[in-house]
Structures are given as C-alpha cells and as structure tokens.
A and B are shown apart, each in its own frame.
Chain A
Amino acid sequence: DAGVIQSPRHEVTEMGQEVTLRCKPISGHNSLFWYRQTMMRGLELLIYFNNNVPIDDSGMPEDRFSAKMPNASFSTLKIQPSEPRDSAVYFCASGINSPLHFGNGTRLTVT
C-alpha cells in the first residue's frame, strides 16, 4: 500500500499564477479530504468528498479555490489566482469511515 500520494511536494509560484495540487487516495477509500495547515490557523478542513461527490466545501476560503474529484483515484485542488496568503502546507487525506490516512503534503509558497 503506497499510502496517500500528493504531488508536488513543494511548489513555489508567483502571485497571480494558477496552482494545481494533486492527490491520489488509497485504493478502496471512499472519503477524501483537503486540509490546509498554517502556523496561525493550524489545520483547517477545506473540502471533503464522499464517493467522489463534494459533501462540504464550507471551509474553502474564497472562490479562488476549487476542488474536483473526477474519479475514485484522483483529486485536485486549484487556486486561481494565487496570493501570498495562500502559502501553507496542503494535505490530502483519505479514509473509509475512519481513521483518516494523510499524505505528506504539498508545501506551497506564493511570492
């Protein structure tokens, strides 16, 4: 089992650019979660999917953020346009009921 796979591990981009973060959940898991971690706000749930359907996106900070899950083995989180305050570590996690399994995260730096 390769675990939850996120790419890229690190992303540095300039303000205004589009950023796409990718996640491959563990095979067989039916729930997928996107979290953001910062020193100031800790772990924040952005959005989660159940059986590929978005269930709760109330944590998505702005319309600049969007997430998709076109199939059970792939999800993306897109930020367009990116801003410096989006700099954080973004985690993807998957599970079947509980507990959740986390990827190693994508560290995003927006300059």
Chain B
Amino acid sequence: AQSVTQLGSHVSVSEGALVLLRCNYSSSVPPYLFWYVQYPNQGLQLLLKYTSAATLVKGINGFEAEFKKSETSFHLTKPSAHMSDAAEYFCAAKSSSSNTGKLIFGQGTTLQVKP
C-alpha cells in the first residue's frame, strides 16, 4: 500500500536559515506528490506539486521540492526562512493511475522559526 513518511514532527530553524523538511514515499510506481501548508485555524493550502514533469518543482513563497526516484524522496526546501513560514507542513501522495483526487498524507511537520 502507498504510504508517506515525514521525518521529524518538529523542525526549528532560525530566521534566515535554510529550511529542509523531509518526505519519503513508498510506492511501486512513482506517484504524484504534493506539499501543503497549514497556518493556525486554517485549512491546508497547496504549496507545490510534482506530476511527472520537471523533477525540481518551484512553489509559492519561495519553496521548492525535488523529486528523487532513486531515494523515493520529495524533500521541501527554502533557502532563507521567514517568520511567516512558521506553520505545519504536510507531504501527500496520489497514485498516478487514480482518477480521483484521493491523497495519502504524511503525519505533518511543524516548522518553528526563531528570530
């Protein structure tokens, strides 16, 4: 069965430092992959998505993620953290053969940004 694993439930960085949030998937066929962000008291917002085109995907707010098939990974990065990036981040996968939008979510990673 397809699954998504996010390493580290909490990540803390200083403002201006590199952000790296890890995500690995398990699937026999490379799925479509997504990163969502959730700010307090809000729903999930799409940051970026990989759908078998370019392996380096750029998203909103300066985030990007790279699909690495050999490592079954889709880590999220941002060169310089901003205080407003503090939120919870979810990695999600969808079977590329599925005709519905059903997503499998990771457990989430809370990003703390220290001044």
Contacts and interface: CB of A to CB of B under 8 A. Distances in A.
Contact of A98 (B44, B49, B105, B108): B49
Contact of A91 (B43, B51, B99): B43
Contacts, number: 59
Interface stretch (A11-19, A74-82, A99-107): A99-107
Contacts of B45: 102
B34 interface: yes
B105 A48 contact: no
B115 interface: no
Contacts of B100: 31, 48, 50, 55, 97
A100 B102 CA distance: 8
Contacts of A105: 42-43
Contacts of B32: 98
A4 B43 contact: yes
Give the contact-size bracket for chain B.
20 to 34
B46 interface: yes
Interface in A6-44: 31, 33, 42-43
Contacts of A103: 43
Interface in A63-111: 91, 93-105, 107
Interface of A: 4, 31, 33, 42-43, 45, 48, 50, 55-56, 91, 93-105, 107
Interface of B: 32, 34, 36, 41-46, 49, 51, 90, 94, 99-103, 105, 107-108
29 contacts: A4-B43, A33-B101, A42-B105, A43-B90, A48-B100, A48-B101, A50-B99, A50-B100, A55-B100, A91-B44, A93-B43, A94-B101, A95-B101, A96-B101, A97-B99, A97-B101, A98-B32, A98-B51, A99-B34, A99-B46, A99-B49, A100-B46, A100-B101, A100-B103, A102-B36, A102-B43, A102-B44, A104-B41, A105-B43
